[in-house]
Amino acid sequence: MHTMREISGERTITVGAAARITGFHPATVRRALLRGDLEGYRAGTRGMFRIPRQALETWIRPAHDPQETNDADADQWRRHRSAA
C-alpha cells in the first residue's frame, strides 16, 4: 500500500500515514484538516484527504522550542513525544 504520492510534484501522505508518523489518532488529524489547522486537500473520486509532507512537518513542529520554555503547551508536547 502506498501512502506517499507525488501530486503536482509535491510529496503527499494520507491521514493514516500522518497519524502513524505523529502518533495521533486519525480522527485528530482529520479534525485538524477540517479546522484548517493542518493544510491538506481532498483528492480522487472518494475524496480522501492528502496532506503535503511539508505541511505535516510544520503542523507537528512546536511553535517554539520546548527546551527553552516551561509553559503548559511545551510540557504537554514533551510528554507526548516521550510516550511515542
Looking at residue 67, which CATH number applies to its domain?
A: 1.10.1660
CB 51 within 8 A of CB 45: no
Rounded Cα gap, residues 82 and 59, in angstroms: 18
User: What confidence category does residue 45 fall into, taking pLDDT thresholds of 50, 70 and 90?
Assistant: confident
Whole-model pTM: value is 0.63
Where in the sequence is the domain holding 71, given as residue range(s)? 4-83
Rounded Cα gap, residues 76 and 84, in angstroms: 13
By the 10 Å C-beta count (0-12 exposed, 13-18 middle, 19+ buried), 28 is classed as middle
Rounded Cα gap, residues 10 and 8, in angstroms: 5
Q: What is the pLDDT of residue 2?
A: 42
Name the domain count of the chain.
1
